[in-house]
Structure 1
Amino acid sequence: MKNRPILSTAKENYDDLAPTFVEYTEKVLFGDVWRRENLSLRDRSLITISALITAEHLNQLPYHLNLAHENGLSNEEIIETITHLAFYVGWPRAASALDIIKKEESGT
């Protein structure tokens, strides 16, 4: 059984600008890659969050933090992951990710 479908925000954000990008996002990334059953959605979220923080692609982090919660990760697990990453990818990257979580929690 394949993982459940993931809803993308690509269409609402980029459809007028980059329809092919939206198509690839919805059909390939979230329609195929995320649905493969060799990894759970929870694991895929954990990997994705780690990769985004490592590469300092923090603009995408809020979406993936929300998705991680939907996929069963608790805030405590996410924060522990970021704390662990700090030793491997750098304190500033981890602190920036924690700032995003703090901002999301406060609603600002």
Structure 2
Amino acid sequence: MSNKERNTGWSGAKNAFGDFAPGMVHYTDKVLFDEVWEREDLSKRDRSLITVAALTALGKMEQLNFHLDFAMKNGVTADELKEALLHLAFYSGWPNGMGAMSVLKGIMDEES
């Protein structure tokens, strides 16, 4: 396990795919999260907001489950996420905004 996996608590790809899709695990962990997410030109907080916006706009609710929680770990508050999702609903389509808000609500309900 790398330091990043210990620090962030993920290898989501490893947990999801194990030995089934080693290429997906490798590129997710080593390229996406170790290289792209670690670039210094944007903060992890900003990267999280951008990722949440893209996934909401694309209607990728399964991935949002991880990334909304990850955004909070990267310093985005629940209230900021609610506001971002409300704003996104007008630009990405109401069903996508509602779906994303439902995912966030589920995360918040689990934490309480």
Same fold judged by TM-score > 0.5? Answer: yes
- Residue from 93, 105, 108 that aligns with 1:105: 108
Query: Would you say 1:74 and 2:64 are equivalent positions?
Result: no
Deviation of residue 66 (structure 1)? Answer: 1.1
1:95 match: 98
- Residue from 55, 59, 62 that aligns with 2:65: 62
Structure 2 distance, partners of 1:88, 1:105, is 24
* Count of residue correspondences: 104
Structure 2 distance, partners of 1:30, 1:103, is 25
Give % identity. Answer: 45
SS of residue paired to 2:11: coil
Q: What root-mean-square deviation, in Å, do the aligned CA atoms of Structure 1 and Structure 2 show?
A: 1.4
Query: Would you say 1:29 and 2:32 are equivalent positions?
Result: yes
- Residue from 11, 14, 24 that aligns with 2:14: 11
Gapped regions of structure 1 (runs ≥ 5): none
- Residue from 26, 48, 52 that aligns with 2:51: 48
SS of residue paired to 1:31: helix
Gapped regions of structure 2 (runs ≥ 5): none
Deviation of residue 82 (structure 1)? Answer: 0.6
Higher helix share: 2
Deviation of residue 15 (structure 1)? Answer: 1.9
Deviation of residue 45 (structure 1)? Answer: 0.2
Please tell me whether the aligned partners of residues 85 and 100 of structure 2 are also in contact (alpha carbons under 8 angstroms): yes
Deviation of residue 8 (structure 1)? Answer: 2.7
1:63 is matched by which residue type in structure 2?
F
Please tell me whether the aligned partners of residues 8 and 30 of structure 1 are also in contact (alpha carbons under 8 angstroms): no
1:71 is matched by which residue type in structure 2?
N
Please tell me whether the aligned partners of residues 69 and 107 of structure 2 are also in contact (alpha carbons under 8 angstroms): no
